């Protein structure tokens, strides 16, 4: 198994650790889209907003520890980037969760709603990414 897969397992375990700690300490679900909506509503934003502050601090800490900034490459054109952001924002609210709330925590607690949500967003995501790849390759 290559180093990448060990990194994947370690990274996933850290995400699971964060979700477990938030559950056991604060008794809440660390669903990022829900925390964002709660913070934007301006009502009862704590402690959720603090988790989002931690989230944005991660890359700074990573830079302090490793000396490099995390890599990030976005190939989609500007217009597509904005529109897809809107889709993700509206869609995660309508469906009540994203990759963290439904994907990680929902699957871990075997919630039927989350299993359906994951099938939908993984299916739609794979179909979209595959079709875009086939249409745009030269």
Partner 1 sequence: MFAVMRTVAAFLCGIIFSLGLILGGILNPSNVLSFLNVSGNWNPALVFVLGSAVFVTFCGFWLKKNLSHPLLDATFQISTARQIDKSLIAGSCLFGLGWGLTGLCPGPAIASFFLLQSKSLLFLLGLIVGTMVFSYRNSVWRNFLRFR
Subset of 19-58 contacting partner 1 (CB under 8 A) = 19-30, 32-33, 36-37, 40-41, 46-48, 50-58
Least separation, in Å, of the C-beta of 138 and partner 1? Answer: 13
Rounded to a whole number of angstroms, the minimum distance from the CB of residue 56 to partner 1 is 4
Q: How far apart are CA 129 and CA 68, in angstroms?
A: 29
Q: Which of 4, 64, 67, 138 binds partner 1 (CB under 8 A)?
A: 4
Q: Which of 5, 64, 67, 138 binds partner 1 (CB under 8 A)?
A: 5
Buried b (16+ CB within 10 A) or exposed e, 44-59: eeeebbebeeeeeeee
Phi then psi for residue 45, to 5 deg, are -75, -20
Site string for partner 1, 108-137 (x = CB under 8 A): xx-xxx--xxx-xxxxxxxxxxx-xxx---
- Pair 30, 22: CB distance under 8 Å: yes
């Amino acid at each position: 198994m290559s180093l990448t897969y060990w990194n994947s397992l370690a990274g996933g375990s850290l995400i699971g650790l964060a979700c477990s700690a938030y559950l056991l300490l604060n008794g809440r679900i660390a669903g990022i889209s829900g925390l964002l909506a709660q913070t934007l509503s301006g009502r009862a934003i704590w402690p959720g907003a603090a988790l989002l502050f931690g989230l944005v601090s991660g890359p700074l800490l990573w830079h302090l520890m490793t000396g490099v900034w995390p890599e990030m490459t976005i190939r989609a054109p500007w217009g597509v980037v904005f529109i897809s952001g809107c889709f993700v924002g509206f869609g995660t609210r309508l469906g009540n969760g994203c990759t963290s709330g439904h994907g990680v925590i929902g699957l871990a607690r075997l919630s039927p709603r989350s299993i359906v949500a994951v099938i939908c967003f993984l299916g739609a995501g794979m179909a979209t990414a595959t079709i875009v790849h086939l249409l745009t390759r030269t």
